[in-house]
Amino acid sequence: MSYILPSLPYKYGALEPYFDERTMKIHHTKHHQTYLNNTNNALKDFFDLAALDIDNLIQNLDKISIDKRNFLRNNAGGHANHRMFWNGLKLGTELQGELKYSIEHNFITVDNFKEIFEKMAITLFGSGWIWLILRSDQKLEIVSTANQDNPLMGKVISGVSGYPILGLDIWEHAYYLKYENRRADYIKAFWSVVNWDEASRRFLEKIK
Ligand code: MN3
C-alpha cells in the first residue's frame, strides 16, 4: 500500500486573495507530492507500517530503522502536516461553540489567543509549524515545531506533545510567491482562511 495525494476539498483559487492560487497549486502538487513520494519510497521495506494511517505512522517512528527514521520523520511528517493543513482551510467559517469557549478559557480572549499565535509564528526561526494543540490534560496550548515535525510525534522527537487542532505552515514555500519576506502579512491572512468548523471537529473528537 502506498499513500496518495489527497485532492483539496476546494479549488486552488478558492482562498484568494488571502492564499493565492499559484502558491496553493505549487504547494500541493510539488511540495506535498514530494513529501508523499519520499514517504512511499522509504516505506518499501516496511509493509506493516505502510498500512498505517499517516497520523498513526508518525507516532511509530521508533519502529523504523535508525537509518531511515529521520528521513521519514521529515517526509511522513510533511505528508501528515499538509494533509491536515489543507483540510484546515476554508473561507467564511466562524469560531464558535465549545472550541471558542475553551480558547477563551485558556487564553482569556480570542484576540489574546491570536496575538500569542501570531507572535510565535513571526518569531519562529527557520522553517516549521505553529500549532494549537490539545494536551493530554485537556488544556489548549500554542506550540511550534521545527521542519516537518508534528506534535503527534511526541516530546522526545518533536519537543512537544498533544493533538493538533490547528496548524500553520511557516515554511517560505507557503507564502513567498505572494508575500515575499512579509511573513507577518501571511500570518494575518491566515485568520481569514482558518476552517474553524474543521478545528472544532478535531477538538470535539478529542475533548473528554
Ligand atoms: Mn508546506
Q: Give 170 Cα–ligand 1 centroid separation in angstroms.
A: 7
> Distance from the CA of 46 to the center of ligand 1, in angstroms?
25
Tell me how far the alpha carbon of residue 131 lies from the centroid of ligand 1, in angstroms.
14
- CA angle 29–205–72, rounded 5-degree value: 40
Give the distance (Å) from ligand 1 centre to CA of residue 67. Answer: 24
Distance of alpha carbon 125 from alpha carbon 192, whole angstroms = 24
C-alpha 108 to ligand 1 mean position (Å): 30
Match 473561507 to its residue by C-alpha cell: 91
Q: How confident is the model at residue 45 (pLDDT cuts 50, 70, 90)?
A: confident
Please give the pLDDT value at position 80: 98
Question: Residue 32 C-alpha to ligand 1 middle, in angstroms?
Answer: 7
Mean pLDDT score of the chain: 96
CA distances (Å), 207 to each of 23, 111, 136, 147, in order? Answer: 34, 22, 9, 28
Q: From the CB of residue 115, how many other CB atoms can be counted at a distance below 10 Å? A: 12
Q: Each residue of 69-101: pLDDT tens digit?
A: 999 999 999 999 999 999 999 999 999 999 999
CA of 105 to the centre of ligand 1 (A): 31
d(CA 187, CA 199): 17
> Contact at 8 Å (CB) between 22 and 31?
no
Side chain identity, residue 150:
N
Distance 82 CA to ligand 1 centre (A): 6
**pLDDT score at 47:** 75
Quote the pTM value.
0.96
The pLDDT of residue 208: 80
Does 101 or 44 have the greater pLDDT score?
A: 101
**Euclidean distance between CA atoms 89 and 69, whole angstroms:** 30
Residue 1 in this model has a pLDDT that exceeds 70: no
CA distance linking residue 171 with residue 181, whole number of Å: 11
- Residue found by looking up cell 470535539 in the block: 204
